[in-house]
Structure 1
Amino acid sequence: MPHTISNPATLHDPVGYGYSHVARVSGELVFVAGQYASDSTGQVTSPDFAAQVRQSFANLAKALAVENLDYRHVVQLRTYIVGHDTDKLAVIGDVIAGIWGGTPPTQTLTGVAALALPDMLFEVDAVAARA
């Protein structure tokens, strides 16, 4: 299948970390790599879990925008939480409800011991589909 790999200028350059942000397959499906609370240099922006969740979803929006997509096009999320508990689940639920309301995309949540960088507490990746 033909595909295109891209890295939006609005996000940090991930190539040094061994990945790219976005892959479009056959013009229909778009895969977004794990987005975390990173600034333009790839550094984690806050030690606060809720702030990291909000920034991660903001970065997801930036990655989708490179393909002229937005949250409405997301059909699947995968979320990763360091030290998962019900309080953190509530934070994620609130952010997702704020974005998708009563019709969120499918989601698989995984509790993990650690993520790629020591200060990361949350990461989200996505699959989007063109209308």
Structure 2
Amino acid sequence: MSKAEIGPRMAGGKLMYNRAVRVDEPRSWLFLAGHEARDEEGGIAHKGDMAGQIRLTLRRLAETVAEGGMTMADVVQIRVVTTDLSACVAQYDVLMDELAARHCRPASLLAEVSALSDPDMLIEIEAVAAH
């Protein structure tokens, strides 16, 4: 399998997002439902803390990716939805740094919604991985 980044958008020397990621001849696809910042008891952690929710959400996403037999480097698309776009944008470096640390360079979407499934959720991330 090969991957090619198309139209990377950089900010301060860091990848903000790719406009597209081309995947040729993957063996497996993994479609990941929306993940959120849930603690070990299933409650939302880091209430009111966008950076904390971003970090934990990506950790939970990485755990699911690993359960699916892949790594975050295999993630080719993410969709980030938030209830507070300005707070998310203010913490976007956290998202970029967390993805970079996991060698994850996906095509992405960032959008604001009026509500998520739990009122304490500030962010939810879904993904697609190919290997």
TM-score (norm 2): 0.71
Q: For structure 2, which runs of at least 5 residues remain unmatched after alignment? A: 1-25
Which residue of structure 1 aligns with residue 116 of structure 2?
115
Alignment pair present for 1:28 and 2:36: no
Which residue of structure 2 aligns with residue 92 of structure 1?
92
Greater share of residues in strand: 2
Question: What is the 5 A alignment of 1:59-74?
Answer: 59-74=60-75
**CA–CA separation in structure 1 for the residues paired with 2:90 and 2:74:** 23
Paired residue secondary structure (1:104): coil
Residue identity over aligned pairs, in percent, reads 31
Please tell me whether the aligned partners of residues 96 and 104 of structure 1 are also in contact (alpha carbons under 8 angstroms): no
Which residue of structure 2 aligns with residue 14 of structure 1?
none
Q: For structure 1, which runs of at least 5 residues remain unmatched after alignment? A: 1-25
**CA–CA separation in structure 2 for the residues paired with 1:100 and 1:42:** 27
2:45 maps to amino acid:
T
TM-score (norm 1): 0.71
Measured on the aligned residues, the alpha-carbon RMSD in Å equals 2.1
**How many residues are aligned here?**
104
Please tell me whether the aligned partners of residues 38 and 57 of structure 2 are also in contact (alpha carbons under 8 angstroms): yes
